[in-house]
Amino acid sequence: MDFFREYISNIGASTSHNTILQRDMSAVVTFRAYFQPFLRGERTWRLYWQNTVDSTFADGAFSRADISGSAYRILSARLGYAFADREIINEAELTFDGKAQKDIAPDERFISDEIALDIPDGAYLCYTVTADIGSGLDIPCTPDSRALCYYAAGDRSSERGTENMSEANECMLPDMFAVKRSVSETRCFIGDSITQGCGTEAGRCEQWAARICAALSERDIGGWNLGLGYGRATDAAMGGAWLYKASRCDNACVCFGINDILGGNAGEDELFASLSSIISELRQLNPNIRVTVFTIPPFNLEPEREAVRRAVNARIGELGADDVFDIAAVLRVSPEREGDAAYGPHPNGDGGAAVAEEYIKQRCAM
């Protein structure tokens, strides 16, 4: 069974991983997260995990691309639903080969068994996991996924809300929340915090990647948000865990550049080479994949770095991608002020709406 053909991502928040859990956490931890699903109603769900860090966090001192996740044990995992008060109304236990607990090895890829869930209109999908991380120091997690995330020490799996939990910036999440459905194609959006949705409100699915994925879902196209804060083209070009996920789709939409210019001090040729390598690696992993490269969005950069961004954008058609989407033209203030971000360097909800509207108009007309 090809999981990625039969099961399709059904949320817009990013669930890729660019950091590891805080070292001062207790051995047993519980996380709870709430998501806006694209499709509600009665669905068959399965969850997919990769126990590997996808990309580098900040300067890499704490977490780097392709770090192997430490061994740990899932004690229980549950899916349910709740409304705005976060109180879980109905949930069911996830199993793994029929068992409620699972021992996870470093770099292991694994999938839950099927679970049936009927989510009413207006409700959130709720995911709860209790894990024994022992002394493991490298448990992959997702910061700023734009989901509503909570944390508590110990086993809180039997509790129905978040009264005894704290809001969590870093959350231990699966790599895909998927439902069984037939679609004409699948697309993913891999990039940095601009793709992930930093700058939008948590729990609202206002980021452009989430909005596009929601619109694609209405057109029987699967969409998967793989964006990560601090993400660099140099990380993705390694062809590791992060790019593996992107390669499972029919169309990988690639939006990188800002962090290479800022954190990596990349010049024009270096950044161009990294983007070219991403395309090559994707095609090696999946010879049938279609690659769409996005132009580098405006970010209010200082002149020297802005010159790199403009130079790469001017050459982006030379990369040999199957398609180019000019996101920079949507997010800039004007052609005369193309380096100034109209909706903030990290686009807010209005920026997310503008990008999604233009993308759907150009790439997915009804």
pLDDT mean for each 10 residues of the chain (366 residues): 91 95 86 96 98 95 94 97 94 97 98 97 97 90 91 94 92 97 97 96 92 95 97 96 97 98 94 98 98 98 97 97 98 97 97 97 77
Assessment of whether the complete model's pTM goes beyond 0.85: yes
Class for domain 183-363, per CATH? alpha beta
For the chain, what are the domain ranges? 3-177, 183-363
Q: What is the pLDDT of residue 366?
A: 41
Rounded-to-integer distance, Cα 219 and Cα 215, Å: 7
What confidence score (pLDDT) does residue 24 get?
76
pLDDT at 365: 60
Distance CA 53, CA 66 (A): 5
Position 25 scores a pLDDT of 80
Residue 31: partners with Cβ closer than 8 Å, 6 or more residues away: 127, 128, 129, 131, 149, 150, 151, 168, 171, 172, 173
Residue tagged 């804060």 (tokens): 229
What pLDDT score was predicted for residue 103? 98
Q: Round to whole Å and give the CA distance between 78 and 312.
A: 45
Cβ-Cβ contacts under 8 Å for 60 (sequence gap 6 or more): none
d(CA 248, CA 285): 8
> What secondary structure, in 3-state letters, does the chain show?
CCHHHHEEECECCCCCCCEECCCCCCCEEEEEEEECECCCEEEEEEEEEECECCCCECCCCCECCCCECCCEEEEEEEEEEECCCCCEEEEEECCECCECCEEECCCCEEECCCEEEEECCCCEEEEEEEEECCCCCCCEEEECCCCEEEEEECCCCCCCCCCCCEECCEECCCCEEEEECCCCEEEEEEECHHHHCECECCCCCCCHHHHHHHHHHHCCEEEEECCCCCCCHHHHCCCCHHHHHHHCCCEEEEECCHHHHHCCCCCHHHHHHHHHHHHHHHHHHCCCCEEEEECCCCCCCCHHHHHHHHHHHHHHHHHCCCEEECHHHHHEEECCEEEEECCCCCCCHHHHHHHHHHHHHHHCCC
Q: How far apart are CA 149 and CA 218, in angstroms?
A: 27
